[in-house]
Amino acid sequence: MRTENNIKWLSNFNEMMISEGFAHEYTYDLPYKYQSDFKAAENRAIQLEKGLWADDACVKETGLLPAAAPKAEESPFSCNVSKNCSQMTSCAEAYFYLNTCGKTSLDRDKDGVPCETICR
């Protein structure tokens, strides 16, 4: 039987996994109760380069680096500028505005992928 305590425990566990870089936030069709907490946890993990977001996370096994969002202070993009998808120059820029600036309007179908025409 699902109880509020079980749901809260599971959400705390999920948030811990995301914040340590062992998982990432993924929105399917609709926003959910803990979405903003999970997105904030993922942004912290990215900034701290934890787990999946560490520089060497995928190098040993695949030789590839993860596609992490650039850090705000290292990014050529700025949250002070408001752009729509047609004004984006790259998929990386679209992800920056979605994940770092919180511009959720770039992800119309709420699947975690902004500007579907350039980020396929």
Q: Which long-range contacts (CB under 8 A, 24 or more apart) does 103-107 make?
A: 107/27
Is residue 29 located within the same domain as residue 57?
yes
Query: pLDDT grade, residue 27 (50/70/90)?
Result: confident
Is residue 74 located within the same domain as residue 118?
yes
Highest mean pLDDT among 1-5, 29-33, 91-95: 91-95
For the chain, the domain total comes to: 2
Contacts of 82 (CB under 8 A, 6+ apart): 103
Tens digit of pLDDT for each residue in 65-86?
444 455 555 667 888 778 889 9
Is residue 92 located within the same domain as residue 62?
no
Is residue 58 located within the same domain as residue 4?
yes
Residues 108 and 45: their CA atoms lie apart, in Å, by: 25
Alpha helices per DSSP H over 1-120: 4-19, 35-47, 59-62, 91-95
Token readout for 27 is 């929105």
Is residue 90 located within the same domain as residue 64?
no
